[in-house]
Amino acid sequence: MAMRVDIHGEVLGGSAGLTDARPQRSEDGRPAGRSPRPVKRGESGTQGRQQTIVDWLTFTFLPTGSIGDAFEQLARYFQLWFGLPVTLTANGYGFRRYESSSDVMAYVNGQTVRLGIIGAGGDHVGGTICLDLSGVGCAAVVDWDAVYATVQDLDARITRCDLARDFCEGEVTVDQVESLYFAGDFNAGGRIPVYRRIESGVAGAGACGGRTLEIGRRKNGKMLRAYEKGRQLGKQDSEWLRIEIEFRSKDRVVDHRILIERDSYFVGAYKALEAFLDADPKRLATDQKTALEVQDEIVCERALDHAQHQYGKLVEYASISDRYQNAAALVARITRRGVPAQAFKTAVARHVHGGHVIPSNLRE
């Protein structure tokens, strides 16, 4: 029988292929294999509200009871994390080395949206449970202090945490980041990390699809990506740059405080980042709400461009018929409830944090 847990932690079904055997903790009460090398924290020039966001989070923990008990416990924690109801639903397949998994699902605008996935069970996972929260799931979090308290309470081991900052008005460019790299400002413990530059576009239009600069390697536990987010989404003249740092527990400990002191850990990753984030107050990163508004506008306008190209003639033809002379009737005829896949993140954020401002092209 599939397992389903509602937001109040009530188990609505039995577990599917999951053992209820209680795992044992290591002698010091922590998961085995924890590295002694911590992620570095820097000094951030901003106080109060954090401008850096968590855009991906993965952690593992050893449950103190059965797997079913652990799922109920997570459901109770989720009440504190998320700004909307969620359910845990077994999906019938494994996840990474875990033999079973369940989706963390939310219902937004008539459509189910996956926020994350939980893996459990298996012979090669040391009795742990894994929670993998995507960028969509992170956008649904309303209280990162509660997430921090959860990982503390569970004695969890963070295996991945992505931090990101957005610069939507061209305050920072890929060229600036690249210049600092070649000047040696990304020196990490006496070593210069490797870099890779990627760009996409079409002949005659340059890198209209966006440029990406990667510094470091994922397999080494820390990698920076600076990429033209707006162009990646399809707006060829966008100046929006996103800087992401992916931290993994490869030969290092990802400290729990990274979840609540995000600005400090972001700057602490590479000294060079202080040049963008602290030197000039006008160069402070765009807050998440504004970045999501920009993303929402780009995604919607691009989708509408496709709709115009594919169905514009049909809409025009239908509008001159006797049946659909009223534009509202025509819109009602072709509208269906749901959320476009590319808009999942902004739809969740809008539902949780309130409506966005009206896109600039629709303002009077």
Give pLDDT tens digits for 116-160. 999 999 889 999 999 999 999 999 999 999 999 999 999 999 999
Give pLDDT tens digits for 160-176. 999 999 888 888 899 99
Residue 145's pLDDT is 96
Give pLDDT tens digits for 308-348. 778 788 777 777 777 777 777 777 777 777 777 666 766 67
Assess whether 298 and 258 both reside in one domain: no
Assess whether 312 and 272 both reside in one domain: no
Assess whether 277 and 343 both reside in one domain: no
- Name 166's Cβ contacts closer than 8 Å, sequence gap at least 6: 229, 240, 241, 242, 285, 286, 288, 290, 291
DSSP letters, 105-173, are EEEETTEEEEEEEEEE--TTSTT-EEEEE-HHHHHTBS-HHHHHHHHHHTT-EEEEEEEEEEETTSSS-
Give pLDDT tens digits for 203-241. 666 666 789 999 998 888 899 999 998 887 777 778 889
| Closest C-alpha to 142, from 74, 87, 76, 81 | 81
Assess whether 273 and 300 both reside in one domain: no
Q: Which of 193-202, 281-290, 335-344 has the lowest mean pLDDT?
A: 281-290
Assess whether 278 and 327 both reside in one domain: no
Q: Are 15 and 67 in contact (CB under 8 A)?
A: yes
User: Pick from 239, 259, 283: which residue ends a domain?
Assistant: 283
Token pair of 284 as six digits: 């402070």
Assess whether 307 and 353 both reside in one domain: yes
User: Pick from 248, 283, 318: which residue ends a domain?
Assistant: 283
Residue 320's pLDDT is 77
CA distance 82 to 205: 42
CB-based burial of residue 115 (10 Å sphere; 0-12 exposed, 13-18 middle, 19+ buried)? buried
Give pLDDT tens digits for 59-103. 999 999 999 999 999 999 999 999 899 999 998 899 989 999 999
Residue 20's pLDDT is 41
CA distance 311 to 219: 45
**Number of domains, the chain:** 2
Residue 51's pLDDT is 80
Residue 22's pLDDT is 40
Q: Are 238 and 230 in contact (CB under 8 A)?
A: yes
Q: Are 102 and 117 in contact (CB under 8 A)?
A: yes
User: Pick from 283, 309, 340: which residue ends a domain?
Assistant: 283
Average pLDDT along the chain: 77
Assess whether 337 and 355 both reside in one domain: yes
Boundaries of domain holding 30 = 4-283
CA distance 69 to 15: 11
